[in-house]
């Protein structure tokens, strides 16, 4: 949602929604946060009331930005952020109000801000077939708040955007599975993570010398790979072959006796 009472804009932002692109209850649920709803997935209308518009600068939630034109998104809880798709102001009477340069900050508490960077956004064509651009991939950074500040526009008197879409991932509980006991004495990490062509599963602490079982599942719970690891020392490293995995989030589950450890693994393009 857009943080109520803090977005400084004329009352044109009437279609703020959060869309779930997968509705199956799984280990990790991908959702899409979008600032408006369109008839075609990636096309945007030319109506000014399907957009966000700010004509009066106000004090920014990030004090470092001062008085400015900004829009603040509050997801109500912390998510992992991935691809951000942006549609600039696409209304024929307001195309010059579209943002040219903008800054993005993120926060987990709305008080302490981390700058993601400054970006340039092409002018919209004021066309109903306008599909926006992939502006930035957060790569799994965690945040509850995303703050967009307009730095320059295309010569208009206001600052506007038509739509923002951000791919999110949230951890949810699998209700139809038995409770998994705490990790206890079993400790492991995946490095690097996000993974590339391969990664290392590092076993830092084991509960015993008995073999471990492991399983990798995708976001739908489908088993991708499983096997048995036979420990031979107190600390070991095993290669995970991840080259053929599609981009997305995965869960690696380790079990040794009654102890279980679940590790989140992200594969980037």
Residue-range definition of the domain harbouring residue 126:
17-171
Residue after which a domain boundary falls, among 171, 196, 223? 171
pTM score, whole prediction: 0.52
Q: What is the pLDDT of residue 69?
A: 94
Q: What is the per-residue DSSP string for 172-232?
A: ---TTSPPPPP-TT-EEEEESSSB-SEEEEEEEE-SSSS-EEEEEE-TT--EEEEEEE---
E strand or H helix at 236: strand 236-241
CATH number of the domain encompassing residue 257: 2.60.40.3080
DSSP strand pairing (248-256 vs 259-267) = antiparallel
Residues 47 and 143 in one domain: yes
The helix/strand/coil state of 13 is: coil
Both structure tokens of 165: 């879409």
Residues pairing with 72 in the sheet: 147
Task: List, for residues 216-225, the tens digit of each pLDDT value.
Answer: 987 667 788 8
Q: What is the mean pLDDT of residues 77-96?
A: 87
3-state secondary structure of 63: helix
Residue 133 falls within a domain, yes or no? yes
| 115 and 91, same domain (yes or no) | yes
112 and 192 housed in the same domain: no
The closest of 241, 178, 254, 264 to 210, measured between CA atoms, is 254
Average pLDDT of the chain, as a whole number: 75
Q: Cα 57–58–63 angle (5° rounding)?
A: 120
**Judgement on whether residues 193 and 160 belong to the same structural domain of the protein:** no
- Tell whether 4 is covered by a domain: no
Would residue 129 count as lying in a domain? yes
CA distances from 194 to 17, 133, 206 (A): 29, 24, 24
18-32, 72-86, 148-162: least confidently modelled range:
18-32
218 and 150 housed in the same domain: no
Report how far residue 19's alpha carbon sits from residue 42's, in angstroms, rounded to the nearest whole number: 14
Total tally of structural domains belonging to the chain = 2
Cβ burial of 89 (10 Å; 0-12, 13-18, 19+) is buried
Specify whether the CB–CB gap between 225 and 264 falls below 8 A: no
- Please check whether residues 196 and 232 belong to one and the same domain: yes
Residue 31: its pLDDT value, please? 38
Provide the CA 92 distance to its chain's centre, in angstroms: 31
Given a cut of 90, whether residue 44 has pLDDT beyond it is no
Which CATH number belongs to the domain containing residue 132 in this structure? 2.60.120.260
Q: Among 114, 145, 171, identify where a domain stops.
A: 171
Over residues 92-149, the pLDDT tens digits come to 888 899 999 999 999 988 888 999 999 999 999 888 888 889 998 988 888 888 999 9
* Same domain (yes/no): 61, 142: yes
What pLDDT score does 167 carry?
85
Same domain, yes or no: 37 and 93:
yes
**Residue partners of 84: CB distance under 8 A and separation at least 6:** 104, 134, 135, 136, 137, 138, 164, 165, 166, 167
Asked if residue 230 and residue 147 are part of one domain, the reply reads: no
Domain end (from 141, 171, 201): 171
Domain co-membership, 133 together with 39: yes
Do 211 and 137 lie in one domain? The reply is no
Helix (H, G, I), strand (E, B) or coil at 90: coil
Does the pLDDT of residue 22 top 60, yes or no? no
Domain membership of residue 166 (yes or no) is yes
| Residue 124 is assigned to a structural domain of this protein | yes
Contact 266, 250 (CB under 8 A): yes
Same-domain check for residues 143 and 263: no
Cα 136 vs. chain centroid, distance in angstroms?
A: 11
């Amino acid at each position: 949602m857009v943080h109520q009472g803090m977005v400084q804009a004329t009352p044109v932002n009437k279609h703020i929604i959060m869309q779930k692109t997968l509705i199956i209850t799984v280990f990790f649920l991908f959702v899409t946060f979008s600032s408006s709803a369109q008839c075609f997935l990636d096309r945007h209308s030319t109506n000014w009331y399907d957009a966000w518009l700010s004509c009066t600068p106000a004090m920014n939630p990030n004090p470092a930005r001062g008085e400015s034109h900004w829009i603040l998104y509050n997801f109500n809880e912390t998510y992992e952020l991935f691809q951000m798709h942006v549609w600039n102001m696409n209304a024929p009477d307001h195309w010059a109000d579209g943002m040219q340069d903008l800054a993005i900050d993120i926060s987990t508490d709305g008080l302490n801000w981390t700058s993601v960077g400054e970006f340039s956004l092409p002018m919209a064509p004021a066309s109903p077939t306008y599909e926006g651009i992939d502006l930035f991939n957060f790569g799994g950074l965690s945040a509850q708040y995303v703050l967009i500040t307009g730095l320059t526009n295309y010569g208009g008197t206001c600052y506007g955007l038509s739509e923002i879409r951000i791919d999110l991932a949230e951890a949810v509980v699998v209700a139809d599975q038995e409770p998994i006991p705490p990790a206890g004495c079993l400790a492991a990490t995946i490095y690097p993570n996000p993974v590339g062509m391969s990664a290392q599963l590092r076993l830092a602490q084991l509960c015993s010398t008995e073999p471990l079982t492991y399983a990798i599942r995708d976001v739908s719970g489908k088993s991708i790979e499983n096997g048995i690891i036979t420990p031979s020392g107190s600390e070991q490293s095993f290669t995970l072959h991840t080259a053929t995995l599609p981009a997305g989030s995965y869960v690696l589950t380790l079990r040794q006796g009654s102890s279980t450890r679940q590790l989140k693994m992200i594969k980037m393009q």
